[in-house]
Amino acid sequence: MTAALTAPLPRPRRSGLTLLEVMIGLAILVILGSMAVPSFSAMVQHRRLVAVARHLAADLRETREEAIRLGQTVQLVFGAETAAERWCYAVVAGAEDLAPGFCAASVSYSASAPRPARLLKRVSGVDHPGVSVLKSQNIAVAADGVYAGRQAPSVAFANLAGEQLQVRLNRMGRATVCVASGVADELARCQ
Protein backbone atom coordinates (compact mmCIF):
# COMPACT_ATOMS: atom_id res chain seq x y z
CA MET A 1 0.00 0.00 0.00
CA THR A 2 2.83 2.40 0.61
CA ALA A 3 4.06 1.89 -2.94
CA ALA A 4 0.76 3.13 -4.30
CA LEU A 5 1.01 6.26 -2.20
CA THR A 6 4.51 7.11 -3.40
CA ALA A 7 3.79 6.70 -7.15
CA PRO A 8 3.78 10.05 -8.93
CA LEU A 9 0.39 11.37 -9.91
CA PRO A 10 -0.11 12.16 -13.60
CA ARG A 11 0.46 15.88 -14.31
CA PRO A 12 -2.61 17.73 -15.47
CA ARG A 13 -2.29 19.04 -19.05
CA ARG A 14 -1.86 22.82 -19.10
CA SER A 15 -3.46 24.92 -21.80
CA GLY A 16 -1.78 28.04 -23.18
CA LEU A 17 1.48 28.98 -24.86
CA THR A 18 5.03 28.75 -23.62
CA LEU A 19 7.28 31.78 -23.61
CA LEU A 20 9.23 30.35 -26.55
CA GLU A 21 6.07 29.99 -28.66
CA VAL A 22 5.03 33.57 -27.88
CA MET A 23 8.49 34.91 -28.84
CA ILE A 24 8.46 33.01 -32.15
CA GLY A 25 4.98 34.39 -32.92
CA LEU A 26 6.12 37.95 -32.16
CA ALA A 27 9.21 37.54 -34.35
CA ILE A 28 7.03 36.45 -37.27
CA LEU A 29 4.71 39.45 -36.74
CA VAL A 30 7.69 41.86 -36.69
CA ILE A 31 9.05 40.41 -39.93
CA LEU A 32 5.67 40.67 -41.68
CA GLY A 33 5.16 44.21 -40.34
CA SER A 34 8.57 45.36 -41.58
CA MET A 35 7.69 44.10 -45.05
CA ALA A 36 4.43 46.10 -45.07
CA VAL A 37 5.92 49.44 -43.97
CA PRO A 38 7.66 50.34 -47.28
CA SER A 39 4.52 49.74 -49.34
CA PHE A 40 2.43 51.71 -46.84
CA SER A 41 4.94 54.58 -46.99
CA ALA A 42 4.79 54.62 -50.80
CA MET A 43 0.99 54.67 -50.68
CA VAL A 44 1.02 57.63 -48.27
CA GLN A 45 3.46 59.54 -50.52
CA HIS A 46 1.25 58.86 -53.55
CA ARG A 47 -1.92 59.98 -51.75
CA ARG A 48 -0.22 63.21 -50.59
CA LEU A 49 0.87 64.00 -54.15
CA VAL A 50 -2.63 63.38 -55.53
CA ALA A 51 -4.15 65.49 -52.74
CA VAL A 52 -1.86 68.47 -53.48
CA ALA A 53 -2.58 68.33 -57.21
CA ARG A 54 -6.33 68.13 -56.65
CA HIS A 55 -6.11 70.95 -54.09
CA LEU A 56 -4.40 73.18 -56.66
CA ALA A 57 -6.96 72.22 -59.32
CA ALA A 58 -9.75 73.20 -56.91
CA ASP A 59 -7.98 76.48 -56.15
CA LEU A 60 -7.69 77.21 -59.87
CA ARG A 61 -11.44 76.65 -60.21
CA GLU A 62 -11.94 78.99 -57.25
CA THR A 63 -9.64 81.54 -58.91
CA ARG A 64 -11.81 81.44 -62.03
CA GLU A 65 -15.03 81.77 -59.99
CA GLU A 66 -13.64 84.71 -58.02
CA ALA A 67 -12.52 86.49 -61.21
CA ILE A 68 -16.04 86.23 -62.60
CA ARG A 69 -17.68 87.15 -59.28
CA LEU A 70 -15.42 90.18 -58.64
CA GLY A 71 -15.37 91.28 -62.27
CA GLN A 72 -11.59 91.66 -62.24
CA THR A 73 -8.42 89.68 -62.85
CA VAL A 74 -7.56 87.15 -60.15
CA GLN A 75 -4.13 85.55 -60.02
CA LEU A 76 -2.65 82.40 -58.56
CA VAL A 77 0.91 83.43 -57.67
CA PHE A 78 3.73 81.02 -56.74
CA GLY A 79 6.55 81.86 -54.39
CA ALA A 80 9.13 80.29 -52.11
CA GLU A 81 9.33 80.40 -48.35
CA THR A 82 12.68 81.74 -47.28
CA ALA A 83 13.36 79.69 -44.14
CA ALA A 84 12.23 76.23 -45.23
CA GLU A 85 12.94 76.63 -48.97
CA ARG A 86 9.49 75.23 -49.65
CA TRP A 87 6.91 76.29 -52.15
CA CYS A 88 3.72 78.19 -51.60
CA TYR A 89 1.06 79.92 -53.63
CA ALA A 90 -1.54 82.60 -53.08
CA VAL A 91 -4.79 83.54 -54.79
CA VAL A 92 -4.81 87.31 -55.25
CA ALA A 93 -7.47 89.68 -56.57
CA GLY A 94 -6.07 92.25 -58.97
CA ALA A 95 -3.33 92.32 -61.56
CA GLU A 96 -0.60 93.90 -59.42
CA ASP A 97 2.35 91.91 -58.15
CA LEU A 98 2.31 90.69 -54.58
CA ALA A 99 4.94 91.98 -52.17
CA PRO A 100 7.91 89.67 -51.63
CA GLY A 101 7.61 87.48 -48.55
CA PHE A 102 3.89 86.76 -48.92
CA CYS A 103 4.76 83.08 -48.40
CA ALA A 104 6.57 83.52 -45.11
CA ALA A 105 5.12 81.22 -42.47
CA SER A 106 5.65 83.96 -39.89
CA VAL A 107 3.00 86.11 -41.59
CA SER A 108 -0.25 85.52 -39.76
CA TYR A 109 -3.62 87.17 -39.89
CA SER A 110 -6.09 87.82 -37.11
CA ALA A 111 -9.11 89.99 -36.37
CA SER A 112 -6.83 92.80 -35.16
CA ALA A 113 -4.49 92.47 -38.15
CA PRO A 114 -6.61 91.29 -41.10
CA ARG A 115 -5.06 89.99 -44.29
CA PRO A 116 -4.67 92.40 -47.19
CA ALA A 117 -7.88 92.78 -49.17
CA ARG A 118 -6.22 91.48 -52.32
CA LEU A 119 -5.00 88.22 -50.72
CA LEU A 120 -7.83 85.69 -50.97
CA LYS A 121 -5.95 82.54 -49.99
CA ARG A 122 -2.46 81.27 -49.20
CA VAL A 123 -1.32 77.63 -49.35
CA SER A 124 2.04 76.53 -47.98
CA GLY A 125 4.19 73.57 -48.96
CA VAL A 126 4.91 73.06 -45.26
CA ASP A 127 1.38 71.67 -45.01
CA HIS A 128 2.22 69.10 -47.70
CA PRO A 129 5.37 67.23 -46.58
CA GLY A 130 7.25 65.22 -49.17
CA VAL A 131 5.77 67.09 -52.14
CA SER A 132 7.86 69.51 -54.18
CA VAL A 133 7.08 71.79 -57.11
CA LEU A 134 9.06 70.99 -60.25
CA LYS A 135 7.56 73.64 -62.51
CA SER A 136 5.29 76.55 -61.72
CA GLN A 137 4.16 79.80 -63.21
CA ASN A 138 1.89 82.56 -62.09
CA ILE A 139 -1.58 82.20 -63.55
CA ALA A 140 -3.90 85.15 -64.22
CA VAL A 141 -7.58 84.62 -64.97
CA ALA A 142 -9.42 87.56 -66.55
CA ALA A 143 -12.77 88.92 -65.35
CA ASP A 144 -14.60 86.77 -67.92
CA GLY A 145 -13.06 83.60 -66.43
CA VAL A 146 -10.71 82.96 -69.34
CA TYR A 147 -6.95 82.44 -68.82
CA ALA A 148 -5.18 85.61 -69.88
CA GLY A 149 -1.93 84.09 -71.26
CA ARG A 150 -0.88 82.83 -74.66
CA GLN A 151 -0.01 79.26 -73.64
CA ALA A 152 -2.08 77.15 -71.28
CA PRO A 153 -0.11 76.95 -68.02
CA SER A 154 0.72 73.83 -66.06
CA VAL A 155 2.22 73.15 -62.66
CA ALA A 156 4.22 69.99 -61.98
CA PHE A 157 4.48 68.34 -58.56
CA ALA A 158 6.66 65.40 -57.48
CA ASN A 159 6.92 63.25 -54.38
CA LEU A 160 9.91 61.55 -52.77
CA ALA A 161 9.26 58.35 -54.76
CA GLY A 162 9.73 60.26 -58.04
CA GLU A 163 6.09 60.22 -59.11
CA GLN A 164 5.02 63.36 -60.97
CA LEU A 165 1.61 64.92 -61.50
CA GLN A 166 0.70 67.95 -63.57
CA VAL A 167 -2.15 70.37 -63.08
CA ARG A 168 -3.07 71.96 -66.38
CA LEU A 169 -5.30 74.91 -67.07
CA ASN A 170 -7.01 75.04 -70.44
CA ARG A 171 -7.76 78.25 -72.33
CA MET A 172 -11.27 78.43 -70.82
CA GLY A 173 -9.84 78.35 -67.30
CA ARG A 174 -10.68 74.75 -66.42
CA ALA A 175 -8.12 72.75 -64.45
CA THR A 176 -7.30 69.07 -64.91
CA VAL A 177 -4.85 66.73 -63.16
CA CYS A 178 -2.81 64.13 -65.06
CA VAL A 179 0.07 61.73 -64.36
CA ALA A 180 3.42 62.74 -65.88
CA SER A 181 5.29 59.74 -64.41
CA GLY A 182 4.52 57.06 -61.88
CA VAL A 183 1.39 55.16 -60.98
CA ALA A 184 -1.75 56.20 -62.86
CA ASP A 185 -4.47 54.69 -60.73
CA GLU A 186 -7.52 56.92 -61.02
CA LEU A 187 -5.90 59.71 -63.05
CA ALA A 188 -5.25 59.89 -66.79
CA ARG A 189 -1.73 60.02 -68.15
CA CYS A 190 -0.50 63.37 -69.48
CA GLN A 191 -0.27 63.59 -73.26
Confidence of residue 175 (pLDDT cuts 50, 70, 90): confident
Sheet holding 131-135, edge to edge: 131-135, 154-159, 164-169, 175-181, 188-189
Residue 19 in this model has a pLDDT that exceeds 60: yes
Closest by Cα among 53, 73, 57 to 149:
73
Lowest mean pLDDT among 4-8, 27-31, 42-46, 82-86: 82-86
Q: How far is CA 81 from the centre of its chain?
A: 17
SS3 assignment, position 179:
strand
